[in-house]
C-alpha cells in the first residue's frame, strides 16, 4: 500500500483499492487529468487510510542530517585554544566515527516538540533571536536579552576573560552561530537547542577522555584512546578544558533552568565514577583504597567538615541476608548507571523541552524518556561487554570483570549463586575469579536476563514518547530508541 496515490495516478485509470485487516473496499477511483481534480483529493484520502501518518525511518540521522554533519565543525569552533597541542588533544575524539546519540536526541526531540501548538508552548518565551531570519511565532512575548548580550557575546569584557588583549582565536564562543535560516525554518530547531546538542557532546567527550585514563583503556572508537595517543596528563587536561569550554557555552544559553540542569550533569558524572570505583555495596571499607593492588590507608576526617555515609553502603554481607544484599547491589548499580550515563540523557532531553517553551507535563515526560533511554543504553552496553568482540565495539570487550565491575549480568548470576558474593566483594581480583564469574553468567542466563531488563526501560521510554504529538520526528525517535535496544556495538 506504500505510495498508493502515485501508483494509482500514474499506472491505472481505474482501480479497486482494498486494505485493512478486514479486507474492506475503500472505493473505486476514477483517474482524472487535471491536477486539481477530485481524483487527487480521493487519492490523498485513501493514502491516509492505508498508511501511517508518520514515516518509518531506517536512519534517524536523515531527519537532521545537516546539523549532524556539521556537529564536529561547530564544536571545533567552541573549543578553540591558543595552544595548538591542546587543540589537537581536545578535538581528537571528535575526529573519529562516534555514535553521537546524545546530540542526535536533542536535535530530533527539538523537531518533535515543534509539533506541539505554539499556544501550548508558552511556559517561557520561545527564544529564536540568536540567528537572523528565525521563524517568528505569533503570540509569543519578545525575548529579552540578558545584560544586553545574546548567546554569542560575552557579558564580561574579553580582556577580563582572557587576561590579555583578546584575539579572535582566543574567543571562539563570540563567533556567530551557523546561520542556516532555511533549515531552521524547515526543521524548527532553535539556535539554543542546536547549541545544546553541541554542549552535551562536549561534556560526554570530556567524560570519555577522563574514563579512558581511569580505566587504563587502550582503544576508543576503533583507534588508540586519548591517553595512549597522547599521555595521561594531556588527556585529563584536555577533558578539563572541554568541560571549561562547555561551561562557558552553558552560561551563554542565558537560561537559568537549563544552566542548572547541564551543570548538574557534570557533577553527576563524577559521582557516578566514584560509585564505580567503589563498585559494590558489600565489604564497604571507607578506611582504605585499592590502587592496582596497593592498599592504601586514607586520611580520616577531622570533623571540621561533615562527611555523610552514602545511603547505599552496607557494611558486610554477613549482617544481612543474601536477597537483601542482591537487591541493594541492583539499586546501587542502577543509581550508578543513572549518574554515569542516564543523567546526561535525561537532563539534555529536559533542557530541550524547556527551551521549546513546553509545559510541565511535556518537560517531565521528556526527562523520563531520557532517563529510561539512558538506563537502557548503558544496560545494553554492559551486556555487550559479555557478548561482543573488540573489533565490533571499537574498545576492549569483556573488560568489566577485569576491572572488577559488577554489572547486571553477574548480579543476576549472583542472585542464583550466593557464593559469587565473595568474588564480587574482592572485585574478581584473585586468579580464576574472572573465569568463574563468566561461567556463572552463562549458567544462569545473566545476559538474557540483562536483555529483558533493558527491554523494560526501552518500553518505558517509548511510552514517554507517545505523549508527544505524532510526527516524523517522533517516529525517528522511536526508531532510535528501538535501535539502542538491538544494537551490537
Instruction: Considering only residues 20 and 313, tell me which one the structure prediction assigns the higher pLDDT.
Output: 313
Query: Of the ranges 129-138, 165-174, 274-283, 463-472, which one carries the lowest mean pLDDT score?
Result: 129-138
| pLDDT score of 482 | 95
Give the mean model confidence (pLDDT) for residues 434-453.
Answer: 95
Domain boundaries, the chain: 4-50, 60-300+311-486
> What does pLDDT average to over the chain?
77
CATH number, domain 60-300+311-486: 1.10.600.10
Contact 395, 402 (CB under 8 A): no
- Measured CA to CA, the distance from residue 191 to residue 184 in angstroms comes to 8
Q: Which three cell numbers stand for residue 248?
A: 562557558
Query: How does residue 222 score in pLDDT terms, banded at 50, 70 and 90?
Result: confident
**DSSP-assigned states of every residue in 409-426:** HHHHHHHH-TTHHHHHHT
Cβ atoms < 10 Å from Cβ of 156? 10
Tell me which residue of 247, 227, 237 sits closest to 86, measured CA to CA.
Answer: 237
| pLDDT score of 455 | 97
Contacts of 259 by beta carbon, 8 Å cutoff, 6+ apart: 250, 251, 253
Q: Which three cell numbers stand for residue 316?
A: 558486610
pTM of the entire predicted model: 0.78
Give 168's DSSP letter.
Answer: G
Cell 546538542 sits on residue: 197
- Measured CA to CA, the distance from residue 213 to residue 215 in angstroms comes to 6
Give the mean model confidence (pLDDT) for residues 372-391.
Answer: 88
* pLDDT tens for each residue of 75-117: 888 887 778 899 999 999 998 877 899 999 999 999 999 999 9
Contact 253, 151 (CB under 8 A): yes
- Range from 158-172, 180-194, 208-222 that averages highest in pLDDT: 208-222
* pLDDT tens for each residue of 322-376: 888 899 899 999 999 999 999 999 999 999 999 999 999 999 999 999 999 999 9
Query: What's the burial of 142, exposed, middle or buried (CB within 10 Å: 0-12/13-18/19+)?
Result: exposed
| pLDDT score of 2 | 40
Query: How does residue 447 score in pLDDT terms, banded at 50, 70 and 90?
Result: very high
Amino acid at each position: 500500500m506504500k505510495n498508493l496515490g502515485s501508483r494509482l495516478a500514474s499506472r491505472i485509470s481505474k482501480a479497486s483499492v482494498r486494505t485493512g485487516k478486514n479486507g474492506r473496499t475503500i472505493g473505486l477511483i476514477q483517474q482524472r487529468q487535471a491536477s486539481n481534480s477530485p481524483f487527487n483529493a480521493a487519492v490523498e484520502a485513501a493514502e491516509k487510510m492505508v498508511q501511517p501518518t508518520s514515516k518509518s525511518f531506517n536512519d534517524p540521522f536523515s531527519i537532521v542530517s545537516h546539523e549532524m554533519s556539521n556537529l564536529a565543525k561547530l564544536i571545533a569552533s567552541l573549543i578553540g585554544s591558543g595552544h595548538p597541542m591542546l587543540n589537537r588533544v581536545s578535538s581528537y575524539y571528535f575526529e573519529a566515527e562516534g555514535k553521537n546519540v546524545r546530540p542526535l536526541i536533542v536535535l530530533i526531540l527539538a523537531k518533535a516538540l515543534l509539533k506541539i501548538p505554539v499556544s501550548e508552548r508558552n511556559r517561557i518565551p520561545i527564544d529564536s533571536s540568536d540567528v537572523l531570519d528565525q521563524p517568528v511565532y505569533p503570540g509569543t512575548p519578545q525575548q529579552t536579552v540578558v545584560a544586553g548580550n545574546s548567546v554569542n557575546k560575552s557579558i564580561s569584557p574579553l580582556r577580563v576573560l582572557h587576561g590579555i588583549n583578546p584575539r579572535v582565536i582566543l574567543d571562539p564562543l563570540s563567533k556567530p552561530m551557523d546561520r542556516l535560516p532555511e533549515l531552521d525554518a524547515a526543521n524548527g530547531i532553535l539556535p539554543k537547542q542546536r547549541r545544546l546538542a553541541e554542549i552535551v557532546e562536549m561534556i560526554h567527550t570530556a567524560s570519555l577522555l577522563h574514563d579512558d585514563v581511569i580505566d587504563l583503556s587502550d582503544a576508543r572508537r576503533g583507534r588508540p584512546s586519548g591517553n595512549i595517543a597522547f599521555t595521561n596528563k594531556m588527556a585529563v587536561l584536555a577533558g578539563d578544558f572541554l568541560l571549561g569550554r562547555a561551561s562557558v557555552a552553558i552560561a551563554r544559553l542565558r537560561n537559568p533552568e537549563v544552566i542548572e540542569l547541564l551543570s548538574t550533569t557534570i557533577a553527576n558524572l563524577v559521582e557516578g565514577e566514584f560509585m564505580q570505583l567503589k563498585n559494590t555495596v558489600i565489604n564497604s571499607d571507607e578506611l582504605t583504597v585499592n590502587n592496582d593492588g596497593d592498599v592504601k590507608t586514607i586520611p580520616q576526617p577531622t570533623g571540621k567538615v561533615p562527611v555523610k555515609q552514602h545511603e547505599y553502603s552496607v557494611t558486610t554481607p554477613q549482617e544481612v541476608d543474601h536477597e537483601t544484599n542482591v537487591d541493594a547491589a541492583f539499586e546501587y548499580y542502577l543509581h550508578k548507571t543513572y549518574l554515569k550515563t542516564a543523567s546526561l540523557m535525561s537532563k539534555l532531553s529536559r533542557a530541550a523541552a524547556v527551551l521549546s517553551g513546553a509545559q510541565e507535563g511535556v518537560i517531565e515526560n521528556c526527562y523520563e524518556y531520557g532517563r529510561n533511554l539512558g538506563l537502557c543504553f548503558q544496560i545494553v552496553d554492559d551486556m555487550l561487554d559479555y557478548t561482543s568482540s573488540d573489533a565490533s565495539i571499537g574498545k576492549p570487550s569483556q573488560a568489566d570483570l577485569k576491572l572488577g565491575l559488577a554489572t547486571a549480568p553477574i548480579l543476576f548470576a549472583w542472585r542464583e549463586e550466593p557464593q559469587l558474593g565473595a568474588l564480587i566483594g574482592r572485585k574478581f581480583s584473585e586468579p580464576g575469579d574472572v573465569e568463574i564469574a563468566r561461567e556463572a553468567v552463562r549458567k544462569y542466563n545473566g545476559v538474557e536476563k540483562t536483555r529483558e531488563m533493558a527491554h523494560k526501560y526501552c518500553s518505558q521510554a517509548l511510552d514517554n514518547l507517545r505523549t508527544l504529538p505524532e510526527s516524523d520526528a517522533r517516529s525517528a525517535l522511536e526508531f532510535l530508541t528501538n535501535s539502542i535496544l538491538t544494537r551490537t556495538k
